């Protein structure tokens, strides 16, 4: 099993005496290259790199120095970049309009290399959505659920030599973005076999109070990753108080699987599991929960390659899900809607 973690790297400004640390690219149009549009994109990328270096330097004047470069950006890209320095005070799942051309410039810049900056980009609708800052309760459930899945995969590999070679080449992560048809996604959990470029399993966590629509996300994943994705699962939850002032939980687990007709993707089939009743009381069902076969993590292959994967299952029970949600409720009471920057 492989897993990933990320840490931010910071850069410092090499010259504190001037607001322009480097010279911008020359505005030259070459006879055998595209016109001024390509030069304009180069200038935009250059400006983004200067803004990034200033924002994440130790110089307290960093953000003030970026103002000299903001004029090189389009209004929409300027709004996106201006969100970064104050993102700790922002709202999770914040959307911004952004053209495909501007997003291409963002991808070429230092911002795109920073793994702590999490966002989704939809090229069709030209929308960039920030997945940051994450509420503490969200992050707790995300990490605990990923840990449960990975731990069971490792346990299966340890006790079953027949599937160990397959599991040893699985890559599971809560920090693994992927690109698809000019779009970019940063799911809360994903897993894929190292022989494949795209995930076979994707998981999402959503607080009910945010605008994160898991049904729409699942449809988009299945459409964008058709022939790769086998299952999308989502856990949506929220907290509320009853008439006695006690904190209660609402939660539902959903799994979406592709529906194929003549080998072509035509939609997805959803199964829902309620974890609490309308009064916030736990629902007891020892057979229900998140159930993933090893085949869900696999890919189209010859019958002789990794046979018998459907005989092994990862199962996170309703009781285990309720336990981690109970912990998240305590975190929510302690921190409220304080965000993780």
CA distance 311 to 57: 52
Return mean pLDDT, the chain: 85
Which is higher by pLDDT, 167 or 1?
Answer: 167
Domain range annotation of the chain: 36-130, 134-340
Residues sharing a CB contact under 8 Å with residue 23, sequence separation 6 or more, in sequence order: none
Q: What is the pLDDT of residue 63?
A: 63
Whether the pLDDT of residue 16 is over 60: the answer is no
pLDDT at 190: 98
Whether 279 contacts 214, CB under 8 Å: no
Average pLDDT, integer, range 157-165: 95
* Residue-wise pLDDT tens digits, 266-305: 889 999 999 999 999 999 999 999 999 999 999 988 788 8
Q: What is the pLDDT of residue 61?
A: 67
Of residues 279 and 12, more confidence is placed in: 279
Reduced to 3 states (helix: H, G, I; strand: E, B; else coil), residue 339 is: strand
> What is the pLDDT confidence band of residue 336, given thresholds at 50, 70 and 90?
low
> Could you tell me the pLDDT band of residue 19, with boundaries at 50, 70 and 90?
very low
Tokens of 150: 């990975």
Tell me which residue of 126, 56, 49 sits closest to 84, measured CA to CA.
56
Band of residue 334 on the pLDDT scale cut at 50, 70, 90 = confident
Does the 134-340 domain belong in CATH 3.40.50? Answer: no
Tens-place pLDDT, residues 171-205: 999 989 999 888 999 999 999 999 999 999 999 99
| Single pTM value for the model | 0.83
pLDDT tens for residues 66-90? 777 888 899 999 999 888 777 767 8
Label residue 296 left, alpha or beta by phi (over 0 means left) and psi (-120 to 50 means alpha). alpha
Task: Determine if residue 26 is left, alpha or beta; phi over 0 gives left, psi from -120 to 50 gives alpha, anything else beta.
Answer: beta
Q: Are 32 and 77 in contact (CB under 8 A)?
A: no
Q: DSSP of 162-198, one letter per residue?
A: TTHHHHTTEEEESS--EEETTEEE--SEEEEETT-SS
- Mean pLDDT across the stretch 321-340? 82
Q: Which residues contact 304 (CB under 8 A, 6 or more apart)?
A: none
Contacts of 100 (CB under 8 A, 6+ apart): 123, 126, 182
């Amino acid at each position: 099993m492989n897993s990933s973690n990320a840490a931010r790297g910071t850069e410092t400004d090499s010259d504190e005496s001037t607001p322009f640390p480097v010279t911008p690219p020359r505005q030259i149009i070459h006879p055998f290259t595209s016109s001024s549009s390509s030069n304009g994109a180069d200038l935009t990328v250059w400006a983004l790199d200067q803004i990034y270096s200033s924002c994440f330097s130790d110089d307290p004047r960093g953000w003030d120095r970026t103002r000299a470069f903001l004029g090189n950006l389009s209004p929409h890209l300027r709004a996106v970049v201006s969100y970064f320095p104050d993102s700790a005070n922002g709202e999770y799942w914040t959307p911004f309009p952004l053209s495909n051309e501007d997003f291409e410039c963002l991808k070429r810049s230092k911002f795109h290399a920073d793994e702590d900056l999490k966002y989704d980009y939809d090229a069709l609708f030209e929308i960039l959505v920030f997945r940051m800052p994450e509420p503490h309760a969200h992050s707790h459930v995300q990490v605990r659920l990923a840990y449960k899945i990975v731990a069971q995969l490792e346990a299966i590999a340890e006790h079953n030599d027949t599937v160990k070679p397959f599991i040893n080449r699985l890559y599971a992560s809560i920090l693994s973005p992927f690109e698809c048809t000019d779009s970019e996604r940063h799911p809360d959990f994903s897993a894929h076999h190292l022989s494949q470029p795209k995930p076979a399993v994707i998981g999402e966590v959503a607080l009910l109070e945010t605008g994160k629509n898991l049904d729409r996300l699942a449809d988009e994943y299945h459409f964008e990753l058709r022939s790769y994705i086998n299952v999308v699962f989502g856990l949506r939850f929220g907290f509320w108080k009853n008439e006695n002032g006690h904190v209660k939980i609402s939660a539902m687990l959903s799994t979406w699987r592709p529906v194929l007709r003549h080998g072509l993707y035509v939609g997805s089939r959803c199964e829902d599991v309620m974890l609490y009743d309308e009064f916030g009381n736990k629902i007891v069902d020892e057979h229900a929960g998140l159930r993933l076969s090893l085949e869900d993590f696999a890919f189209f292959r010859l019958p002789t390659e990794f046979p018998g994967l459907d005989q092994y299952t990862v199962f996170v029970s309703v009781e285990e899900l309720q336990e981690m949600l109970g912990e998240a409720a305590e975190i929510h009471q302690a921190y409220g809607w304080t965000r993780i920057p």
